[in-house]
Structure 1
């Protein structure tokens, strides 16, 4: 995972957790604007989320953050 994506995922998870608590869920779309302005980063996130970890559409932000921090 590139440092840019790792940083973005952790930042978004932290904001969501701070706003809604540790039980809040996220999808990989949460890390992108509605406008597809970086298709390579979107595909990297999708590959990591779907193929590498076989995560459901929505996962707990804490779980995603932990996976990323562990080098997942």
Structure 2
């Protein structure tokens, strides 16, 4: 996963945890605006989330952050 996406995921997870608490869940769509302005990055996130790790639609933000920090 490219660094741009790693940074974005960590930032979004931190914001969601800060605003909604440690138990907040999110989907990979949380890392993108409601516009498809970067389809390659969106597909990279979807592939990492769905194909590589077979994650459910909603996953706890703290788990996603730890996975990204651990380079999974």
TM-score (norm 1): 0.99
Q: Equivalent residue for 1:51?
A: 51
RMSD: 0.3
Segments of 5+ residues of structure 1 without an aligned counterpart are none
TM-score (norm 2): 0.99
- Which residues of 2 match residues 19-58 of structure 1 at below 5 A? 19-58=19-58
Segments of 5+ residues of structure 2 without an aligned counterpart are none
- The answer as to 2:8 corresponding to 1:16 is no
Query: Any runs of at least 4 consecutive aligned residues in structure 1 with deviations exceeding 4 A, and if so which?
Result: none
- Cα distance in 2, alignment partners of residues 24 and 49 from structure 1: 17
The number of aligned residues is: 72
